Amino acid sequence: MADKDIARHRLGEPVVVVEGVEKAFGAFVVLRDVNLTVRRGETVCIIGPSGSGKSTLLRCINALVPISKGSITVAGRQVNDPGLDKLALRRDVGIVFQQYNLFPHKTALQNVMMAPIHVLKQKRAEVEERSVRLLAKVGLSHKHDAYPGELSGGQQQRVAIARSLAMNPKVMLFDEVTAALDPETKKEVLVTIRDLATEGMTCILVTHEMGFAREVADHVYFTDGGLIVEPPPPAEFFGAPREARTRAFLEQVL
Amino acid sequence: MRTAATDLPVLKPFRAPPIAPSGLAAPALLGAGLVAGVAIVFAASLAVAQATGPAMRDGAVTILLRWLPLIFQGFLFNLLISVLSMALGTAVGVLFGIGQVSPSAALRQPAWAATQFFRNAPWLVLLFYAMFLLPFEISLGPVAIAFPAWVKAIIGLALPVAANVSEIVRGGIRSIPSGQWESAEALAFSRRQTMWMIILPQAVKRMLPPWMNLYAILTMATTLISVVGIQDGLTVTRAALVAESRPELMLPMYLLLLLMFFAYCYPIARLTMALERRFHVKG
């Protein structure tokens, strides 16, 4: 963690800035007045009960879901600008989903290679070399030619992580990526994410893994009723939460 | 790591071997029985015709054999029409089906309206329209493109086929989970790329069985073209009966034509069922 602190001091400019964001689906307000700043190299965890808008917030950050009010800036790009180049934004923001969402008709390696070749128009040989490296990084060198249906949930999720990394994103979003996994495969995936965070990738995780959040996160945010209520350092968050609502939640889950 | 390490006994997921599809033998037996049944009826009708025919003239078998090559040729023409109208209908139908799921209402609504209109119209009426509304030839400046009757028939049959293919394509695309769209979108694929590289390749295997089913239906429906005066298998058979003027031959003669269609369409139906079963198990 010491290395990481040094890296953070050196590369501290904000990558994701969320200011006064509100999101409503019809009359149902999912997010209200959410403020969040993630600096380069930081790992931020967002925890909280189901239905509190955590996943929606992640989807707002890469413009999969439009926001109703406020502003979001990612790597200097205004996400809520109507003239936003969505494709350019999504090259900078990788997202990994709870249900993996791999392309079932493509092998693991093809899944990783597809977007760089067809979206970034990079040379196939180059992409293949990098994709092979990425699969090795997530510990799946032996599964290049396996189809998603032949992989376990944890393996699929690691392919999904490699697939996002292949785009060289500036920030990675993880949407409850271990929620559908059993404890053993969960661990493989969490180790992969921890390694990424340690290497200095900017990560935003929505998670129910309290122990993981405590170990890896630079900041932990707690969402409830669409409000982000707690942004202190993780030790303080888990040790002595300031808000009564946070205390109540942690008492339930820890 | 604290979260993942646990002392609790954990039940690993138990995966039962897939249950072998039972009753596979039943349709096979049924199919064989059906073939045998039709053959028996055919043989019996032929025997009756042979026995009851006038003694002075040719036997039923001789006459049937005389006409067989012509009827078969007519039947081949039916197949040609079916293949060509299926090809045309599929090409147009795929475009309309994709149009039906377009985010642009200007594309989606006309595609939907056309699909519904042609899907719910009687095939023979559409065929009449195509035969009598299309001109004999289209002149593009100095070039005149001829429109013989059989080309018009292909267009007429392709109309309902296109509408049905459009629905098959729309359903196939809709059946792909939204997570596929979402992750493609998050990887910065354009909508067009997502459709052609990610959604359609997956949807094709779900569209194949209903598409083949439609083809079998179309093949049988090609006999409609005999109504508008094209020399297909049915026209030839009818002409043969008129020429021979032997009423007792009616049953075996038409059965001969039916058998040809059956021999062609039944394997397609069986293959469709097999594909459906396979894709269903695989999910």
Residue-by-residue DSSP string for chain B = -TTT---S--PPPP-PPPPP-TTSHHHHHHHHHHHHHHHHHHHHHHHHHHHHS-TTS--HHHHHHHHHHHHHHHHHHHHHHHHHHHHHHHHHHHHHHHHHT-S-HHHHHHHHHHHHHHHTS-HHHHHHHHHHHS-SEEEETTEEEE--HHHHHHHHHHHHHHHHHHHHHHHHHHTS-HHHHHHHHHTT--HHHIIIIIIHHHHHHHHHHHHHHHHHHHHHHGGGGGTTT---HHHHHHHHHHHHT-GGGHHHHHHHHHHHHHHHHHHHHHHHHHHHHHHHHH-
pLDDT of res. A230 = 60
Contacts of B12 in chain A (CB under 8 A): 182
More confident residue, B110 or A215: B110
Q: What is the DSSP letter of A248?
A: H
The residue type at B240:
A
Output the pLDDT for position A84.
86
Mutation target among B3, B12, B14, B181 for the A interface, most CBs of A within 10 A: B3
B241 vs A3: which has the higher pLDDT: B241
Q: Which residues of B touch A164 (CB under 8 A)?
A: 186-187
Cβ distance of B188 and A212 shorter than 8 Å: no
Report the DSSP pairing between strands A202-206 and A43-47.
Answer: parallel
Query: Hey, are the CB atoms on B3 and A62 less than 8 Å from each other?
Result: no
| Residue B4, domain member (yes or no) | no
Which of A8-12, A122-126, B145-149 has the highest mean predicted lDDT (pLDDT)?
Answer: A122-126
pLDDT in tens, A68-114: 889 999 988 898 888 888 888 988 999 999 999 999 999 999 999 99
Q: What's the whole-number mean pLDDT along residues A158-162?
A: 94
- In a mutagenesis test of the B interface, which of A58, A93, A103, A157 is the best target, namely the one with the most B β-carbons within 10 Å? A103
Q: Does B6 touch chain A if contact means CB atoms closer than 8 Å?
A: yes
Q: Which one, of B122, B117, B119, B129, lies nearest residue B156 by Cα?
A: B129
Lowest mean pLDDT among A4-18, B17-31, B47-61: B17-31
Asked if B179 has any chain A CB less than 8 Å from its own CB, the reply is yes
Q: What is the CATH number of domain A2-105+171-253?
A: 3.40.50.300
Q: What is the ipTM of this complex?
A: 0.85
* CA proximity to B228, closest of B151, B118, B145: B151
Task: Give B123-171 pLDDT, tens digit per residue.
Answer: 999 999 999 888 877 777 788 888 889 999 999 999 999 999 999 999 9
d(CA A194, CA A216): 7
With a cut of 70, say whether residue B114 has pLDDT above it.
yes
Measured between CB atoms, does B120 come within 8 Å of chain A? no
Q: Pick B73 or B59 by higher pLDDT.
A: B73
For residue B220, what are the CA distances in angstroms to B73, B217, B232, B250, B255? Answer: 16, 5, 12, 19, 14
Choose among A115, A183, A190: nearest Cβ to B189. Answer: A115
* Rounded Cα gap, residues B158 and B141, in angstroms: 27
B24 within some domain: no
Which residue is listed with tokens 């198990």? B281
pLDDT band at B217 (very low <50, low <70, confident <90, very high): very high
Give domain status of residue B162, yes or no.
yes
Is the model's pLDDT at A2 over the cut of 60? no
Q: What is the pLDDT of residue B2?
A: 45
Q: Is residue B208 in some structural domain?
A: yes
**Contact list, A131 vs chain B (CB under 8 Å):** none
Is B62 touching A (CB cutoff 8 A)?
no
pLDDT of residue B238: 92
Q: Please give the share of chain B, as a percent, with pLDDT higher than 70.
A: 88
pLDDT score at B3: 46
Task: Count Cβ atoms below 10 Å from residue B71 Cβ, excluding itself.
Answer: 21
Partners of residue A215 in chain B, C-beta under 8 Å: 1-2
Binning pLDDT at 50, 70 and 90, where does residue A168 land?
very high
Mean predicted lDDT score pLDDT of chain A: 85
User: Who has greater pLDDT, A246 or A83?
Assistant: A83
The answer to whether position B37 is within a domain reads yes
- Distance from the Cα of A204 to chain B's closest Cα (Å) equals 15
Give percent above pLDDT 90 in chain B.
Answer: 56
Phi, psi of A77 (to 5 degrees): -105, 130
Residue of B1, B186, B198 with shortest CB distance to A211: B1
Output the pLDDT for position A225.
64
Which of the four pLDDT bands, split at 50, 70 and 90, describes residue A250? Answer: confident
pLDDT value of position A242: 66
B115 or A54, which is more confident?
B115
Out of A110-124, A183-197, B184-198, pick the least confident: A183-197
Task: Tell me whether B193 touches chain A (CB under 8 Å).
Answer: yes
What pLDDT is attached to residue B199? 95
How much is the pLDDT for B157? 96
Ranges of each domain in chain A: 2-105+171-253
Q: How far is B227 from chain A (nearest CA, A)?
A: 46
Q: Does the pLDDT of residue B60 top 50, yes or no?
A: yes
Average pLDDT taken over every residue of chain B: 86
Residue B228 belongs to a domain? yes
**What is d(CA A224, CA A245) in angstroms, rounded to the nearest whole number?**
8
Q: What percentage of chain A has pLDDT greater than the value 90?
A: 39
Q: Which residue has the higher pLDDT, A25 or A8?
A: A25
Q: For position B10, what pLDDT does the model report?
A: 57
Say if B1 is an interface residue toward chain A (CB within 8 Å).
yes
Q: How many CB pairs under 8 A join A and B?
A: 82
In a domain, B21, yes or no: no
pLDDT of residue A240: 66
Give the other-Cβ count within 10 Å of B271's Cβ: 14
Q: If you measure CA to CA, which chain A residue comes closest to B205? A: A105
pLDDT at residue B61 above 60?
Answer: yes
Q: Do A90 and B186 touch (CB under 8 A)?
A: yes
* B218 vs B57 pLDDT, higher one: B218
Q: In total, how many domains does chain B have?
A: 1
How far, in Å, CA of A105 to CA of B196, rounded?
Answer: 13
Confidence of residue B18 (pLDDT cuts 50, 70, 90): low
Here the CATH number for the domain that contains residue B218 is 1.10.3720.10
Residues of A in contact with B197 (CB under 8 A): 114, 118
Residues in chain A: 254
Q: How does residue A254 score in pLDDT terms, banded at 50, 70 and 90?
A: low
Q: Provide the domain limits for residue B173.
A: 33-282
pLDDT in tens, B267-277: 898 888 888 88
Question: Of A122, A202, A207, whose CA–CA distance to A157 is shortest?
Answer: A207
